[in-house]
């Protein structure tokens, strides 16, 4: 049964990826980068960053460019298995775990990755609340000494696929997409709980600001 499920995961992943790749080739994507050498699709620079992406926008960074030096944290639950299969096909390294299952082991694996590896994390996953950043990403930034790059994505036309606790946004063909990233946010090594809470609030505010800016561009 496990082998069959794994085969089904891979078949579904390949089908979805082929469709999404074809879809994203029709899009006009405008990248607005807040700081030099922070584009995850560029091989320039030797510094790795933590890219902060809301769970409902995860399709955009997956297919908006070719990944280099990228790793992602994926939940161990059933939905995460489908996502993991797709990420592997896209050449993204995987670390499995979440706040509820295997979190400590996953953090240790992430900290052992080369310093120039980019990490992609959803601060509101895997169970929400929707678009509410948690402290786990801040703790990882403190321990890994990587800067957090907040991101936002918006499209002029899109579909919303309902989920258990959040939707999934998929741009419609031949539409314009805006991909924004902010200035990296650095967390002091071995930061205290109050300091991490403050940085979490700062990240939350920046994600909201970038999201509003991206939506304004898309509605223009």
pLDDT in tens, 78-118: 555 667 778 888 888 888 776 555 567 888 889 999 999 99
According to the model, what pLDDT value does residue 105 have? 83
Place of tokens 């939905």: 79
The pLDDT of residue 77: 58
Residue 2 pLDDT more than 60? Answer: no
Instruction: Give the residue with greater pLDDT, 3 vs 186.
Output: 186
The whole-angstrom separation of Cα 170 and Cα 12 is 17
Task: Name the most confidently modeled range: 9-18, 70-79, 146-155.
Answer: 146-155
Region 63-91 average pLDDT = 78
What is the spatial distance between Cα 17 and Cα 36, in angstroms, rounded to a whole number?
Answer: 30
Q: What is the mean pLDDT of residues 184-196?
A: 95
**In sequence order, which residues have a C-beta less than 8 Å from that of residue 25 and are 6 or more positions away?**
none
DSSP category for residue 53: -
Place of tokens 């999934």: 168
Q: Is the pLDDT of residue 1 over 50?
A: no
ω into residue 126 within 30 of 0, thus cis? Answer: yes
Residue 106 or 159, more confident: 159
* C-alpha–C-alpha distance, residues 153 and 169, integer Å: 10
Give residue for tokens 């899109």.
Answer: 158
Q: Is the pLDDT of residue 202 over 80?
A: yes
Supply the angle between the helices 135-144 and 193-219 in degrees, to the nearest 10: 110
What's phi and psi for 134, nearest 5 deg?
A: -110, 170
Please classify residue 56 by burial: count the beta carbons closer than 10 Å to its beta carbon, then call 0-12 exposed, 13-18 middle and 19+ buried: buried
SS (HEC) of 147-176: EEEEEEEEECCEEEECCCCCCEEEECCCCE
Residue 9 has pLDDT above 80, yes or no: no
Output Rg (C-alpha) for the chain, integer angstroms: 17
Model confidence band, residue 200 (pLDDT cutoffs 50, 70, 90):
very high
Mean of the pLDDT values across residues 37-44? 80
| Domains and their CATH numbers in the chain | 2-219 (3.40.1130)
* Longest distance between any two alpha carbons in the chain, whole Å: 50
**Tokens 């992602």 found at:** 72
119-128, 129-138, 141-150, 199-208, range with the lowest pLDDT: 119-128
- Check whether 10 has a pLDDT greater than 80: no
Which pLDDT does position 79 carry in this prediction?
Answer: 53
Is 60 exceeded by the pLDDT of residue 193?
yes
pTM, two decimals, is 0.89
């Amino acid at each position: 049964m496990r082998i069959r499920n794994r085969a089904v995961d891979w078949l579904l992943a390949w089908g979805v990826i082929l469709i999404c790749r074809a879809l994203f080739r029709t899009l006009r994507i405008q990248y607005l980068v807040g700081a030099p050498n922070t584009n995850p699709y560029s091989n320039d620079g030797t510094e790795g960053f933590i890219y902060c992406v809301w769970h409902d926008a995860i399709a955009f960074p997956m297919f908006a460019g070719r990944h280099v030096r990228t790793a992602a944290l994926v939940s161990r639950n059933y939905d995460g298995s489908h996502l993991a299969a797709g990420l592997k096909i896209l050449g993204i390294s995987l670390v499995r775990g979440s706040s509820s299952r295997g979190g400590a082991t996953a953090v240790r694996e992430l900290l052992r990755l080369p310093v120039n590896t980019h990490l992609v994390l959803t601060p509101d996953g895997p169970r929400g609340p929707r678009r509410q950043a948690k402290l786990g990403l801040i703790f990882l930034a403190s321990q890994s000494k990587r800067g957090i790059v907040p991101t936002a994505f918006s499209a002029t036309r899109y579909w919303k696929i309902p989920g258990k606790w959040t939707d999934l946004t998929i741009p419609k063909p031949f539409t314009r997409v805006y991909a924004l990233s902010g200035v990296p946010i650095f967390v002091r090594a071995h930061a205290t709980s109050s300091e991490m809470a403050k940085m979490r609030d700062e990240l939350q505010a920046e994600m909201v600001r970038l999201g509003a800016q991206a939506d304004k561009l898309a509605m223009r």
